[in-house]
Amino acid sequence: MEKRKPKWTIEGKTCLITGATSGIGKATAIELAKRGARIIYTARDLEKAKIVKEEIVLKSQNNDVEFFECELSSLESIKKLAENFKKRYSALHVLINNAGLWEAHRKLSKDGIELTFAVNYLAQFLLTDLLLGLLKKSAPSRVMNVSSELHRKGKINFDDLELKKHYNGMKAYYNSKLAIVLFTKELARRLQDTGVTANIAHPGLAKTDIYRALPSIEKKLIFLFGAITPEEGAKTSICLAMSDEVSNISGEYFARGKITKSSDESYDIEEAKKLWNISIEYVKKYIENSEV
């Protein structure tokens, strides 16, 4: 008789979350902490991170909460985060790449890369690669990348990934969210039979700080018509982290907690492979050997 696999539970699992000092990331961290997970999150502002830690502990009554300093617009900082994490923890069961931004005007990261592409996509790509060895060692484990329905408006232009020619803030955001979906699907293909799954979460239009660069009138309109709370937006990420039902599901796009068909372009395997190879070129200085 075949031995049954133990049922997945988040209790006692080690979770690393980016972008958890506010919005959907913080709501996700609080709920998972309530369910008994060990929560580690990244932060640029250490004073804010301390306040958030106190809030998570207070609301969850779980003291197993920690944070690491990390600037996600710096590839060097991401590498240091991964190194420090692996020195401190011997296991990683859930990686939630949640951080994201939207910029009205074209800006560059600390590495001279267009900022939206760098933070929303390349940071996820590099951090995941650097921690994959630990995720495999801790299997069964999960990678969860937060994207958006707006990925459907994205287009990967390999001749101008960083929109040097005709920058548009929303276009850069759309493209970064499509890149996340392509990356996750390719990651899932490469992780078959490793015990590590990779899925995409669409949180919905939530009232978060990501819209801070929008003109105040547009921001009010977004929040007035249908924007949900961060707690509601966190539900899909929480489901993917906690549910035993998704244990054997990988490479899927989830919205409202259910598998949903992503954009037609996101299923282009050759495009996903090409994006992967180009991404390796961007970050090769920071990885000795890619884990996949």
Query: How many CB atoms are closer than 10 A to CB 56?
Result: 23
Distance between CA atoms of residues 235 and 257, nearest Å: 7
- Which among 261, 17, 251, 234 has a CA at the least distance from the CA of 124? 17
Phi, psi of 29 (to 5 degrees): -60, -45
* ∠ CA 167-170-174, rounded to 5°: 105
- Strand 38-43 and strand 14-17: the pairing is parallel
- Catalytically annotated residues: 173
Distance between CA atoms of residues 52 and 22, nearest Å: 8
Burial of 123 (0-12, 13-18, 19+ CB in 10 A): buried
- Strand 253-255 and strand 14-17: the pairing is unpaired
Q: What separation in angstroms does the CA of 229 have from each of 57, 135, 155, 208, 225?
A: 21, 31, 29, 8, 12
Query: How many CB atoms are closer than 10 A to CB 233?
Result: 24
Tell how far CA 119 is from the center of its chain: 10
